Structure 1
Amino acid sequence: MMAKRDVKSNENTAISLEELLKAISPDKSARKLPPVDSWQPERSTDIDMEIRANGSWWHEGGRINREKLVKLFSTILRKDEDGSFWLVTPYEKVVVHVEDAPFMAVRVDRAGEGETQSLAFVTNVGDVVVAGKDHPIRIETDPDTLEPSPYLLVRGRLEAKLSRPAFYELAGMAVETPSDGGRTLGVWSDGEFFPIGPAEG
C-alpha cells in the first residue's frame, strides 16, 4: 500500500530531497535489484505474460492481482536493445508483451524550488525515481490528436508512463524558458531542464 501522502508539491515551504524521500518511501531498507543485465540464459519461452497500458500484469488472459507477485516480477524485468521485454533469471527468460510502458508513474513530489529543485516519482510497483540526467523525462506527442504522452526512465531501458493525474501535477510545476524554436514550458529536476510543451500565447 502506498505511503500516505504527507508532502504536497504545491506547499510554499521547500523541504530537502532527503526529507522528501523519507516521506514518500519510509521503508529505509531499499530493495536490492538482481543483476538481470548480466544474466544471459540460453533458454527462452513465451507463457503469455502481458503488461497492459494501464500498468496491470496479465497471464494467459487473467489479471495478476497479487501485488507482491507483480512487484517481484518487476524486479527481474529487462528490456533488450531490440525492444523486447523479458523476465530474466540465470537459467531462463520469459518474454513479456508490453502494450506501452512497463510501469506507471502514479505520483510526483517536489523538493526545493526553481532550478535547484528535485522531482521524485513513485511507480505503481514501488520504485522511487528522482528525475535527472540519468532518469530523464520525455514527451511523445501523437501526430493525429497532438495528445502528449510523458515518460520517465526508471532503470536500464525500462520506462514509466506518467498517469494522467501525475502529468497534470507535473504540468502545474512547469515554468517558461526561451528555446531555439520559441518559448517552451518545462520542469527542472536535479539540475536538468525537461521540456513538456510549447508555451501558449
Structure 2
Amino acid sequence: MDKQNLEYITFGGGCFWCVDSVLDLLQGVESTTSGYAGGHKENPTYEEVCTGNTGHAEVVQMAYDPRIISYEQLMEVFYFLHDPTQLNRQGNDIGTQYRSVIYYTTEAEKQKAEEALKVSEATGKYSGKYVTEITKLDKFYPAEQYHQGYYEANPTQPFCSAVVGPKVAKFKKHYGDLGMLRPELD
C-alpha cells in the first residue's frame, strides 16, 4: 500500500479486542491500533479506563487506503460488528468505556459519519434507537502493547474463545462472501 494515500478512522463498538480482531482481515486496512479516546485523563491505563471514571472509550484507530476500501464500507463493517442501540455496553461488557462512538477529525468526516448512521438506521437491522455518538477526536492514546492484536496472540483465552472467536467466524463468513477479505483469507 502507498502510505501517502492512507486515511485514518477511529471508532468504538465495545471491547477493542473484538473490533480490532476483524478489521485487520479487510482488504485496504493497513494497520489497526487499539486505544482510548474521548475522556479527560491524560495517558490512561487499561485499569483506569476499566473503572469507567476516565471518560474514555475503548476504540480502534485504523489506517486504510480509500482506493481499496471506502469510508462507507468501513461504516458498514462498524455497524455489523456491534449493536448500536445498546447504551454504554456490548453484551456482558457494561460501562461508558464500551459505548458506540465514531470519532471524526474534519467536518467532512462528521458528515460522512452522520450519513452512515442514517443509512444503517434505514436498514432496520436493529429495532431500537441508535445511541452511537459522533464526536470530534481530541486525542487518541494507544493501549498497552499487550492489547495490540490480542485475539491473534490469545485465541484460547476464555473471553476470546467464547466471544471474540465466534464474532470473527461470523465476520469472515459474511465479508468473505462479499469478497472484502484479504486474498490470503478467502
TM-score bracket, normalised by the shorter chain, equals: under 0.3
Relative to the length of structure 1, the TM-score reads 0.21
Point out which structure has higher relative CO (alpha carbons under 8 A, 6+ apart).
Answer: 2
Q: Counting strand residues as a fraction of each chain, which structure ranks higher?
A: 1
Specify the structure having the higher radius of gyration (Cα). 1
